[in-house]
């Protein structure tokens, strides 16, 4: 059974959705990133980068949400689309991994978590998210899903952060991207989405964004002697 190291943040939610789509048996292992549990020696032995998610599948350890999606897709043969589209699948998966995900994360950080209102940073990351949304919107103009008309791990990867679009760009952000909005609504009709969203609801994760959480989430912002 797969051990799934989980927190209900966007990147672990990608893996949660794949697991629910595929029917693979798994066990949730909570990692409370607000308390700094990602920095324990035990967890860092799985992911030296001290981020969630990670999985343990027998003797195989995989970290980074997009790597996990690719590993599980190749392992099971599920949600990988048409073999003729493999180049596009790899390309668009990396588009999400290197663009949509990190720029969305930085947009959230500078709008909602940074101690100072830095107009340049906010504008920079919001505009980059908008640019990436625009590329996806154009891609989806004549097809159902990002790679093709087949639902794949790329859609799952993109959904993880698109599901947080109100926090990234605001409640009405998808109104400017009608094809992306239609895609998002299409993905949300899948029963596995509801099941994925229910994962961990019974876990009492910390919710207060206090000094402990700031030090746990952003230890690089503190002198080494002050880190956990």
Cβ atoms of residues 37 and 212 within 8 Å: no
Buried b (16+ CB within 10 A) or exposed e, 151-168: bbbbbbbbbbbbbbbebb
Whether 102 and 181 map to the same domain: the answer is yes
Q: pTM value?
A: 0.95
Locus of tokens 């989806």: 140
Q: Cα-flanking dihedrals φ and ψ of residue 66, to 5°?
A: -75, -35
CA distance 105 to 107: 5
Whether 21 and 89 map to the same domain: the answer is no
Whether 146 and 206 map to the same domain: the answer is no
Domain that holds residue 209: 2-78+200-226
Please give the torsion angle defined by the CA atoms of residues 156, 187, 112 and 177, in that order, rounded to the nearest 10 degrees.
Answer: 110
97 HSE (CA, 13 A, CB side): 15
Domain presence at residue 195: no
- What is the pLDDT at residue 29? 98
Buried b (16+ CB within 10 A) or exposed e, 110-130: bbeeeeeeeeebbeebbebbb
Whether 96 and 71 map to the same domain: the answer is no
Whether 131 and 205 map to the same domain: the answer is no
User: Could you say which DSSP state residue 130 is in?
Assistant: H
Whether 74 and 123 map to the same domain: the answer is no
Q: Show pLDDT as tens, one digit a residue, over the chain (228 residues).
A: 999 999 999 999 999 999 999 999 999 999 999 999 999 999 999 999 999 999 999 999 999 999 999 999 999 999 999 999 999 999 999 999 999 999 999 999 999 999 999 999 999 999 999 999 999 999 999 999 999 999 999 999 999 999 999 999 999 999 999 999 999 999 999 999 999 999 999 999 999 989 999 999 999 888 875 544
Whether 90 and 176 map to the same domain: the answer is yes
Task: Give the pair of three-digit tokens for residue 67.
Answer: 């790597």
Domain presence at residue 194: no
- What is the pLDDT at residue 24? 97
Total domains in the fold of the chain: 2
Q: Cα-flanking dihedrals φ and ψ of residue 139, to 5°?
A: -60, -35
């Amino acid at each position: 059974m797969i051990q799934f190291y989980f927190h209900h943040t966007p990147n672990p939610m990608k893996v949660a959705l794949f697991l629910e789509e595929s029917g693979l048996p798994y066990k949730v292992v909570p990692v409370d990133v607000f308390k700094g549990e990602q920095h324990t020696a035990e967890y860092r032995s799985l992911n030296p980068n001290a981020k969630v998610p990670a999985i343990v599948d027998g003797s195989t350890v995989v970290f980074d949400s997009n790597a996990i999606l690719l590993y599980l897709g190749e392992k099971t043969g599920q949600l990988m689309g048409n073999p003729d589209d493999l180049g596009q699948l790899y390309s668009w998966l990396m588009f999400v991994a290197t663009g949509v995900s990190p720029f969305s994360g930085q947009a959230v950080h500078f709008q909602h978590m940074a101690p100072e209102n830095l107009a340049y940073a906010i504008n920079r990351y919001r505009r980059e998210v908008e640019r990436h949304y625009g590329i996806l919107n154009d891609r989806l103009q004549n097809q159902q899903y990002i790679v093709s008309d087949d639902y794949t791990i790329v859609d799952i990867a993109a959904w993880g952060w698109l599901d947080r679009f109100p926090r990234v760009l605001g409640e009405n952000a998808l109104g400017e991207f009608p094809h992306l909005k239609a895609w998002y609504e299409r993905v949300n009709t899948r029963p596995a989405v509801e099941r994925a969203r229910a994962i961990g609801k019974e876990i009492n994760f910390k919710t207060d964004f206090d000094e402990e959480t700031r030090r746990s989430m952003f230890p690089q912002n503190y002198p080494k002697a002050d880190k956990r």
